[in-house]
Amino acid sequence: MSKKRPSHIDRIRSDADLTYSISLPFQNQDAEILIIDRDNQVEIAVADIPVPSSYYAHRDLNLASANLNLIRENAVAQWIIDDATQVLDGYDWKESNSRSRSGNYYFDGVYFKCDRQNVDKAVMNAKKFLTILEESVLQHSQEFSSYSIHTPPSEVLDQK
């Protein structure tokens, strides 16, 4: 069994000057927006994000052995990530992937830099990214019947 390799976000988490916890009602954990002051530039990382099930880093999905449903589900998941990150197109954003003990890679966030005077707008864009992503992940889980999400508010109300 290989050792877990820390992601870029894991490595900068302890350096964060500011951390904002963003409650996501359909997830089992809050997302985080991490802000690291690097002199005239600020690095912003969005961590603990909702991820569509069956989303694989390109190097993980073996098309030769995958079935068509898995390929379709992964393609839709990739589209969701691409669509949500459009709000970050004004930045040179990068995807952060972690390697699990099993050797697979999983998507654990995005990060980018901006000028210090634009940090407020960048944080708002990071929050928009989370909202767009969460909504799309919920639709993805419903479409593919792969509920890896927390109990939705509708079910909580039904239980009352």
Q: Is the pLDDT of residue 104 over 70?
A: no
Highest mean pLDDT among 51-60, 84-93, 139-148 belongs to 84-93
pLDDT attached to residue 12: 83
Instruction: State which of 25-29, 37-41, 114-118 shows the largest mean pLDDT.
Output: 114-118
pTM for the predicted model, two decimal places = 0.80
pLDDT classification of 1: cutoffs 50, 70, 90: very low
Q: What is the pLDDT of residues 49-80, one digit of tens each?
A: 888 766 665 555 565 566 777 777 778 888 88
Cβ neighbours of residue 40 under 8 Å, at least 6 residues apart?
115, 116
Class of the CATH-defined domain 8-158 = alpha beta
35 confidence band (pLDDT: 50, 70, 90): very high
pLDDT at 151 (0 to 100):
62
What is the pLDDT, as a whole number, of residue 87?
Answer: 96
Quickly count: other Cβ atoms within 10 Å of residue 155's Cβ. Answer: 9
Looking at every residue in the chain, the average pLDDT score rounds to 81
Which range has the worst mean pLDDT, 47-51, 57-61, 142-146, 149-153? 57-61
Instruction: Domain ranges for the chain, please list them.
Output: 8-158
Rounded Cα gap, residues 10 and 98, in angstroms: 9
Helix 119-143 × helix 68-84 angle, to 10°: 160
Residue-level pLDDT at 68: 78
Three-state DSSP class for residue 68:
helix
Q: Give the separation between CA 7 and CA 143, rounded to whole angstroms.
A: 30
Give the pLDDT band (50/70/90) at residue 147. Answer: low
Between 53 and 8, name the one with better pLDDT. 8
Q: Are 52 and 141 in contact (CB under 8 A)?
A: yes
